[in-house]
A = this chain, B = another copy of it.
Amino acid sequence: MAKRRKVNNMLGLAVLATVIERPMHPYEMASLVRARGKDDDMRIKWGSLYTVVRNLEKHGFLEVAGSDKEGGHPERTIYRITDAGRQEYADWVRDLLATPEREQSAFKAALSVWGILTPDEVTSLLRGRVALLEKELADQRAALNGHLSEIPRLFLVEAEYDLAVREAELAWTRSLLGELSEGTFPGLDAWRHWHATGEVPQELHDLFGRGIGAD
Protein backbone atom coordinates (compact mmCIF):
# COMPACT_ATOMS: atom_id res chain seq x y z
CA MET A 1 0.00 0.00 0.00
CA ALA A 2 3.01 2.24 0.03
CA LYS A 3 2.07 3.91 3.26
CA ARG A 4 3.68 7.13 4.29
CA ARG A 5 6.67 6.37 6.50
CA LYS A 6 7.60 8.33 9.60
CA VAL A 7 10.97 8.81 7.94
CA ASN A 8 10.55 8.90 4.21
CA ASN A 9 13.98 9.79 2.95
CA MET A 10 15.65 6.83 1.22
CA LEU A 11 18.82 7.75 3.05
CA GLY A 12 17.01 6.44 6.11
CA LEU A 13 16.85 3.01 4.53
CA ALA A 14 20.57 3.08 3.90
CA VAL A 15 21.15 4.11 7.51
CA LEU A 16 19.02 1.29 8.88
CA ALA A 17 20.64 -1.20 6.54
CA THR A 18 24.05 -0.22 7.85
CA VAL A 19 23.50 0.32 11.55
CA ILE A 20 21.76 -3.03 11.81
CA GLU A 21 25.20 -4.63 11.73
CA ARG A 22 26.54 -2.95 14.82
CA PRO A 23 26.22 0.38 16.66
CA MET A 24 28.08 3.23 15.03
CA HIS A 25 28.12 6.97 14.51
CA PRO A 26 26.51 8.69 11.50
CA TYR A 27 29.65 9.39 9.61
CA GLU A 28 30.68 5.77 9.84
CA MET A 29 27.34 4.66 8.41
CA ALA A 30 27.83 6.93 5.44
CA SER A 31 31.39 5.73 4.95
CA LEU A 32 30.30 2.13 4.98
CA VAL A 33 27.55 2.76 2.49
CA ARG A 34 30.06 4.43 0.26
CA ALA A 35 32.67 1.73 0.73
CA ARG A 36 30.15 -0.88 -0.32
CA GLY A 37 29.34 0.97 -3.46
CA LYS A 38 25.72 1.33 -2.45
CA ASP A 39 25.97 5.10 -2.49
CA ASP A 40 25.18 4.79 -6.12
CA ASP A 41 21.67 3.65 -5.24
CA MET A 42 21.07 6.08 -2.42
CA ARG A 43 23.06 9.20 -2.98
CA ILE A 44 24.37 10.56 0.31
CA LYS A 45 23.63 14.16 1.10
CA TRP A 46 25.77 15.11 4.08
CA GLY A 47 23.30 17.70 5.23
CA SER A 48 20.50 15.18 5.30
CA LEU A 49 22.39 12.43 7.06
CA TYR A 50 22.26 13.93 10.52
CA THR A 51 18.67 15.10 10.15
CA VAL A 52 17.60 11.64 9.05
CA VAL A 53 19.45 9.93 11.88
CA ARG A 54 17.94 12.32 14.41
CA ASN A 55 14.49 11.63 12.98
CA LEU A 56 15.00 7.90 13.12
CA GLU A 57 15.93 8.35 16.76
CA LYS A 58 12.93 10.57 17.42
CA HIS A 59 10.63 7.85 16.13
CA GLY A 60 12.31 5.19 18.21
CA PHE A 61 14.04 3.31 15.39
CA LEU A 62 17.49 4.20 16.71
CA GLU A 63 18.75 4.94 20.21
CA VAL A 64 21.88 6.58 21.51
CA ALA A 65 24.41 4.00 22.61
CA GLY A 66 26.85 6.45 24.09
CA SER A 67 29.14 9.12 22.76
CA ASP A 68 32.74 8.87 21.89
CA LYS A 69 35.05 11.72 22.74
CA GLU A 70 38.52 10.25 22.29
CA GLY A 71 40.59 11.71 19.53
CA GLY A 72 38.51 13.93 17.28
CA HIS A 73 36.89 16.89 18.96
CA PRO A 74 33.43 16.82 17.32
CA GLU A 75 32.11 14.40 19.95
CA ARG A 76 30.67 11.56 17.93
CA THR A 77 27.34 10.09 18.96
CA ILE A 78 27.02 6.34 18.58
CA TYR A 79 23.60 5.02 17.59
CA ARG A 80 22.17 1.55 17.96
CA ILE A 81 19.17 0.14 16.09
CA THR A 82 16.14 -0.79 18.22
CA ASP A 83 13.68 -3.63 17.77
CA ALA A 84 11.22 -1.15 16.37
CA GLY A 85 13.95 -0.10 13.97
CA ARG A 86 14.57 -3.63 12.77
CA GLN A 87 10.83 -4.03 12.36
CA GLU A 88 10.50 -0.82 10.40
CA TYR A 89 13.46 -1.68 8.23
CA ALA A 90 12.10 -5.08 7.16
CA ASP A 91 8.65 -3.65 6.73
CA TRP A 92 9.92 -0.86 4.57
CA VAL A 93 11.83 -3.22 2.30
CA ARG A 94 8.80 -5.48 2.00
CA ASP A 95 6.71 -2.53 1.03
CA LEU A 96 9.15 -1.28 -1.56
CA LEU A 97 9.52 -4.69 -3.13
CA ALA A 98 5.82 -5.44 -3.31
CA THR A 99 4.47 -2.09 -4.42
CA PRO A 100 5.34 -0.73 -7.85
CA GLU A 101 5.69 3.00 -7.47
CA ARG A 102 5.26 5.44 -10.32
CA GLU A 103 8.41 7.44 -10.08
CA GLN A 104 8.41 10.66 -12.01
CA SER A 105 11.14 10.97 -14.55
CA ALA A 106 12.64 14.16 -15.87
CA PHE A 107 13.00 12.72 -19.34
CA LYS A 108 9.36 11.79 -19.39
CA ALA A 109 8.41 15.31 -18.39
CA ALA A 110 10.59 16.67 -21.17
CA LEU A 111 9.04 14.35 -23.74
CA SER A 112 5.63 15.58 -22.75
CA VAL A 113 6.57 19.07 -23.94
CA TRP A 114 9.07 18.35 -26.69
CA GLY A 115 6.72 19.99 -29.16
CA ILE A 116 8.09 23.44 -28.39
CA LEU A 117 11.34 22.47 -30.07
CA THR A 118 11.58 21.77 -33.78
CA PRO A 119 11.69 18.13 -34.85
CA ASP A 120 15.18 18.64 -36.20
CA GLU A 121 16.50 19.99 -32.97
CA VAL A 122 14.84 17.20 -31.03
CA THR A 123 16.44 14.69 -33.36
CA SER A 124 19.86 16.11 -32.79
CA LEU A 125 19.40 16.30 -29.02
CA LEU A 126 18.24 12.72 -28.86
CA ARG A 127 21.19 11.65 -30.93
CA GLY A 128 23.39 13.19 -28.27
CA ARG A 129 21.43 11.49 -25.55
CA VAL A 130 21.77 8.11 -27.19
CA ALA A 131 25.51 8.56 -27.58
CA LEU A 132 25.93 9.49 -23.92
CA LEU A 133 23.70 6.67 -22.80
CA GLU A 134 25.63 4.15 -24.88
CA LYS A 135 28.86 5.17 -23.29
CA GLU A 136 27.48 5.20 -19.75
CA LEU A 137 25.89 1.82 -20.22
CA ALA A 138 29.04 0.29 -21.60
CA ASP A 139 30.92 1.45 -18.51
CA GLN A 140 28.16 0.30 -16.23
CA ARG A 141 28.05 -3.12 -17.83
CA ALA A 142 31.81 -3.48 -17.60
CA ALA A 143 31.75 -2.50 -13.93
CA LEU A 144 28.98 -4.95 -13.20
CA ASN A 145 30.78 -7.79 -14.92
CA GLY A 146 33.90 -6.94 -12.98
CA HIS A 147 32.03 -7.08 -9.70
CA LEU A 148 30.22 -10.27 -10.60
CA SER A 149 33.53 -12.05 -10.73
CA GLU A 150 34.18 -11.41 -7.07
CA ILE A 151 30.84 -10.69 -5.42
CA PRO A 152 27.78 -12.98 -5.42
CA ARG A 153 24.83 -11.85 -7.50
CA LEU A 154 22.84 -11.68 -4.29
CA PHE A 155 24.51 -8.33 -3.65
CA LEU A 156 24.32 -7.06 -7.19
CA VAL A 157 20.76 -7.53 -8.37
CA GLU A 158 20.03 -3.83 -8.06
CA ALA A 159 22.81 -3.11 -10.51
CA GLU A 160 21.42 -5.70 -12.90
CA TYR A 161 18.01 -4.12 -12.60
CA ASP A 162 19.31 -0.66 -13.24
CA LEU A 163 21.18 -1.82 -16.29
CA ALA A 164 18.16 -3.62 -17.71
CA VAL A 165 15.91 -0.62 -17.31
CA ARG A 166 18.41 1.81 -18.77
CA GLU A 167 18.98 -0.51 -21.70
CA ALA A 168 15.26 -0.45 -22.35
CA GLU A 169 15.34 3.31 -22.22
CA LEU A 170 18.15 3.36 -24.73
CA ALA A 171 16.38 0.93 -27.04
CA TRP A 172 13.19 2.95 -26.95
CA THR A 173 15.00 6.21 -27.62
CA ARG A 174 16.90 4.64 -30.49
CA SER A 175 13.72 3.46 -32.11
CA LEU A 176 12.09 6.85 -31.72
CA LEU A 177 15.17 8.43 -33.19
CA GLY A 178 14.87 6.08 -36.12
CA GLU A 179 11.35 7.23 -36.84
CA LEU A 180 12.39 10.84 -36.61
CA SER A 181 15.43 10.66 -38.82
CA GLU A 182 13.73 8.50 -41.43
CA GLY A 183 10.74 10.80 -41.42
CA THR A 184 8.28 8.05 -40.62
CA PHE A 185 7.08 9.62 -37.41
CA PRO A 186 3.48 10.69 -38.10
CA GLY A 187 2.73 14.40 -38.16
CA LEU A 188 6.32 15.46 -38.77
CA ASP A 189 5.32 17.84 -41.53
CA ALA A 190 2.61 19.48 -39.49
CA TRP A 191 5.04 19.86 -36.63
CA ARG A 192 7.67 21.44 -38.87
CA HIS A 193 5.15 23.67 -40.56
CA TRP A 194 3.88 24.88 -37.25
CA HIS A 195 7.34 26.03 -36.20
CA ALA A 196 8.18 27.54 -39.58
CA THR A 197 5.05 29.63 -39.95
CA GLY A 198 3.88 29.90 -36.38
CA GLU A 199 0.44 28.77 -37.42
CA VAL A 200 -1.21 25.76 -35.89
CA PRO A 201 -1.87 23.13 -38.58
CA GLN A 202 -5.44 22.06 -39.23
CA GLU A 203 -5.04 18.64 -37.72
CA LEU A 204 -3.90 20.06 -34.41
CA HIS A 205 -6.17 23.05 -34.33
CA ASP A 206 -9.23 21.53 -32.75
CA LEU A 207 -7.08 19.90 -30.11
CA PHE A 208 -6.05 23.24 -28.71
CA GLY A 209 -9.62 24.28 -28.15
CA ARG A 210 -10.29 21.79 -25.46
CA GLY A 211 -7.48 20.44 -23.37
CA ILE A 212 -5.02 18.40 -25.36
CA GLY A 213 -5.07 14.93 -23.98
CA ALA A 214 -8.34 15.44 -22.16
CA ASP A 215 -10.67 12.49 -22.30
Contact = CB atoms under 8 A, between A and B. Distances in A.
Interface of A: 10, 13-14, 17, 20, 32, 35-38, 41-43, 89-90, 93-94, 96-101, 103-117, 121-122, 125-126, 128-129, 132-133, 136, 147, 151-158, 160-162, 164-169, 171-172, 176, 185-187, 190-191, 203-204, 207, 210-215
Contacts of A133: 100
A137 to B, nearest CB: 9
B110 A97 contact: yes
A38 B83 CA distance: 43
A25 B173 CA distance: 35
A93 B110 contact: yes
A125 B131 CA distance: 37
Given A93-B113, A204-B152, A105 B108 contact: no
A41 B103 CA distance: 9
Q: Is the contact region of chain A dominated by helix, strand, or loop, or is it mixed?
A: helix
A205 to B, nearest CB: 12
28 contacts: A17-B112, A37-B213, A42-B112, A93-B114, A94-B125, A96-B107, A97-B107, A97-B122, A97-B126, A98-B125, A99-B132, A100-B107, A100-B129, A100-B133, A101-B106, A105-B162, A108-B158, A111-B158, A147-B213, A151-B212, A152-B187, A153-B185, A153-B187, A154-B186, A154-B191, A161-B176, A164-B171, A167-B168
Contacts of A20: 116
A77 B157 CA distance: 51
A97 to B, nearest CB: 4
Contact of A104 (B10, B90, B155, B190): B10
